Copies of this chain bind each other. A is one copy, B any other.
Amino acid sequence: MKKLKNPTACVIIIGNEILSGRTLDTNKQYLCKELTLNGIDVIEARVIKDNKKEIINTVNEVRKKYNYVFTTGGIGPTHDDITSISIANAFKVKLIKNKEALLILKKFYNLKNEKLNKARQKMALIPKGAELLHNPVTKAAGFRIKNVYVMAGIPKIMIAMFKKIIKKIKHGIPEISKTILINFPESCIAEDLEIIQKKFNNIEIGSYPFMNGKKKGVNVVLKGRNLNQIRSAEKEIKKIIKLL
């Protein structure tokens, strides 16, 4: 299958609460969807523990493999927030009090008549050389160091940060996508689908079965850049459905 080269990405969700099943992770889906819409191919996603070694090893592995790495989680004020120091270690740079980040926090807590206590000051510790990623919600910044974007874990904050990031980074060309809903088990169309995939080999045909209660069916998704092939494949699939 011929493909133009889009930028690639890896999403890393950092958090024990995800791996224990306590929290349903929605950040991954949001990031995957938005990146895909902007022509950035998410090649893999990982969920790892709040553990220095795990964070360092994972980030150092994937930042070499992909154009972009996006992490969420672990940059808050508590003792179990260890993403920033881990990323600094991964890049072998110091974690320093970032003046700009500190100033933003000072202003924010001043306005609220609250103290910039030690825990809040911790959120101004940023790896040396990193660029701040502004947080319009609670002001504690994330940061970018080389191709690694380090964001908060709270979805509302992560989304606000990401909306600024996506404006700045290099996009690819998003693929055209067409979904055909079929109310039959996929095993009824699998053989025909394979023939159609072979015929239209510049597009990707995915078959995603579902069961909702007693309702069974499949979403066939046609993806690619060749609109003619997508349209032709769609026609052929619809012909098959009529014969079912």
Please judge, given known A-B contacts A119-B187, A190-B77, whether A211 and B19 are in contact too, CB under 8 Å: no
A161 adjacent to chain B (CB < 8 Å)? no
Q: Would you list which residues of chain A between 1 and 57 have a CB under 8 Å from chain B?
A: 16-26, 28-37, 42-50, 54
Please judge, given known A-B contacts A154-B210, A211-B154, whether A43 and B19 are in contact too, CB under 8 Å: yes
- Residues of chain B lying within 8 A (CB to CB) of residue A208: 17, 22-23
Majority DSSP secondary structure for residues of A touching B: mixed
Please judge, given known A-B contacts A25-B28, A117-B187, whether A79 and B36 are in contact too, CB under 8 Å: no
Tell whether, in the assembled complex, residue B42 and residue A44 are in contact, meaning their CB atoms are under 8 Å apart: no
Chain B: CB-nearest residue to A30:
B21
Chain B: CB-nearest residue to A9:
B19
A87 adjacent to chain B (CB < 8 Å)? no
CA of A210 to CA of B158 in the docked complex: distance in angstroms? 12
- Residues of chain B lying within 8 A (CB to CB) of residue A35: 21
Tell whether, in the assembled complex, residue B190 and residue A79 are in contact, meaning their CB atoms are under 8 Å apart: yes
Binds B, one of A126-134, A191-199, A234-242: A191-199
CA of A113 to CA of B185 in the docked complex: distance in angstroms? 15
**Which bucket holds chain A's interface residue count?**
35 or more
Residues of A within 8 A of B (CB): 16-26, 28-37, 42-50, 54, 76-81, 117-120, 122-123, 137-138, 154, 156-157, 185-187, 190-191, 193-194, 197, 204-211, 221
A sample of 11 cross-chain residue pairs with beta-carbon separation below 8 angstroms, ordered by A number, consists of A19-B44, A21-B35, A25-B28, A45-B47, A77-B186, A80-B197, A80-B206, A80-B207, A117-B187, A118-B191, A119-B194
